Structure 1
Amino acid sequence: MSPTRRSAALLAALALVALPLPAQAHDELTGSDPEDGATVEAGDLDELTMTFSGEIAQVGAAVTVTDPDGGSALEGEPEVEGTEMTQDLVDDLADGDYAVAWRVTSEDGHPISGEFGFSVTGGEDEAEQDTAEAPAPTEETEEASGSQEAEASASPTETEETAEETTQESSPEATSQDGETSDASTADSSGLPVWAWVLLAAGGVGVLALMVATWQRGRRSAP
């Protein structure tokens, strides 16, 4: 081989060695349903789907979906088929923001992970749930309420009647007490009771009769 050809072959070999080898890229998340930052109706959402650039392994696949109250919105385990991973969600999602965190094993055997979020509207809030759970009024409940209202309406009248009866019953006693008080006042103002005055009067009459009898005897015995 001539020196010229040998030099050309050497330069070609050096060029091949100097060329960079293509780097093997890991798989990545290419899309999701719902999308990152999307707002969806609660009735239209029953599962979460994530699509990757290459096939992913079932082993090591994991996902979490956190609801607005910090609880889990997952139902069951994730399912992997080819480049997609699907995760069922609970029924009756509440309004608010949801946070998604995922982790899978890519086609080249390396684990990859990421996060995104979405919002739900049109779901049941706590006030609506409490209203739905409240028992409907029954006939017995309505009758009991009507009886209580009737008793409440009759209470003032019964109270007035009771007050009038109490006043009527207490009036004779008050009159009797007033009469006894008047008699006692009369006796106190005269100084002596009536029977004492009667005895005094009888004694005075007896003394007067004795004096008259003594005077008559004295006249008869005089010359």
Structure 2
Amino acid sequence: MASLRTLPAAVLAAGLVLVPATAQAHDELTGSEPSDGATGEAPDDLTLTFSGNIAEVGAAVTVTSPDGSSVTDGEPQVDGTEVEQDLADDLTDGEYAVAWRVTSEDGHPISGEFGFTVEGAAAQTSEETSEEAQPEESSEAPQESEAEPAPTPEETQGAEEETTEEETTDDSGQTSEESVSTATGVPGWAWVVVGVAVAGLLGTLAWTWQRGRS
């Protein structure tokens, strides 16, 4: 009879032990990037890390900007114990609120919220704008001028003498009659006729003079 009285007490004690063990089986958030309360530059994405694997179905992450608008980009991506959420570009300075809801490995939904602060976004945007405004330096080396150098005075004089010689000398090396005709204005054959006539006249005069003396 004594053992029957102690049986309910033993069952109750076992139940008290099992209930906390079951309650502690649910997964929980163990960290995030940015972390809760962090202050820094604007992140490109938000990563949540949990104590156990997260179900791919049912994950939801919301990130709200200081003006109340959502800055999430697309749906969250689940990879084992991590949930990654892309964020919009060019986040402004201020406090951002994060709210998340996922389904743990045992099928139990869990949720939570935290916040982080962005600083220096305006200065970073101004620096990037200044870099884009600067002209890019040309990577091509300047091409050397292909113009030929001017001829020296010696080369110019030699070219002129060679041209004069070609104009006044024919293939046999004799002076061209055309050059003489051009210089005097009288054809070359006329000079030949005149020379013959003068020679004949001088011969006639000499013969007449000799005859008169005899």
TM-score (norm 2): 0.50
Corresponding position of 2:11 = 17
Pick the aligned partner of 2:99 from 98, 101, 119: 101
CA contact (8 A) 1:100 1:116 kept: yes
The alpha carbon displacement at 1:63 in A equals 0.6
Deviation at 1:64, TM superposition (A): 0.8
Q: Which residue, 90, 94, 118 being the options, matches 2:116?
A: 118
The answer on whether the counterparts of 1:66 and 1:73 sit within 8 Å (CA) in structure 2 is yes
Residue identity opposite 1:83 in structure 2: T
Within the candidate set 89, 92, 99, 2:90 is matched to 92
Task: State how far apart, in whole Å, the 2-side matches of 1:106 and 1:56 are.
Answer: 5
**What does residue 34 of structure 1 align with?**
34
Residue 75 of structure 1 deviates from its aligned partner by: 1.8
Instruction: Tell me by how many angstroms 1:70 deviates.
Output: 2.1
Residue 11 of structure 1: CA displacement? 5.8
Question: What is the aligned length?
Answer: 127
Deviation sequence 1:176-202 (CA, Å, 0-9, x none): xxxxxxxxxxxxxxxxxxxxxxxxxxx
Structure-to-structure mapping, 1:182-193, within 5 angstroms: none
- Matched residue of 2:11: which SS? helix
Displacement after TM superposition at 1:89 (Å): 1.3
| Amino acid of the structure 1 residue aligned with 2:19 | P
- Structure 1 alignment gaps of length 5 or more: 1-5, 137-223
- Partner of 1:78 in structure 2? 76
For structure 2, which runs of at least 5 residues remain unmatched after alignment? Answer: 135-214
Query: What is the distance in 1 between the residues matched to 2:52 and 2:10?
Result: 30
Q: Could you tell me how far apart the structure 1 residues matched to 2:79 and 2:10 are?
A: 40
Please give the alpha-carbon distance, in whole angstroms, between the structure 2 residues aligned to 1:112 and 1:128.
41
Displacement after TM superposition at 1:10 (Å): 3.7
Structure 1 partner of 2:179: none
As a proportion of its length, which structure holds more helix?
1
Partner-residue secondary structure (3-state), 2:10: helix
Root-mean-square deviation over aligned CA pairs: 3.0
Give the drift of 1:109: 1.5
CA distance in 2 between counterparts of 1:22 and 1:71 reads 42
AA matched with 1:27:
D
Secondary structure in 2 aligned to 1:59?
A: coil
Alignment check: 8 A CA contact 1:93 1:124 kept: no
Cα pair 1:40 1:119 within 8 Å, conserved: yes
Cα distance, 1:69 vs. partner? 2.4
Cα deviation digits, residues 116-156 of structure 1 (max 9, x gap)? 1100111127x959x87xx99xxxxxxxxxxxxxxxxxxxx
CA distance in 2, matches of 1:33, 1:128: 25
Deviation at 1:91, TM superposition (A): 2.2
Q: Which residue of 2 aligns with 1:61?
A: 59
Name the amino acid aligned to 1:37. G
Give 2:12's aligned amino acid: A
* Alpha-carbon distance in 2 for matches of 1:18, 1:124: 62
How far is the alpha carbon of 1:37 from its aligned partner?
1.0
Task: Quote how far apart the aligned CAs of 1:15 are.
Answer: 4.3
Percentage identity across paired residues of the two chains:
64
Q: Give the TM-score normalised by the residue count of structure 1.
A: 0.49
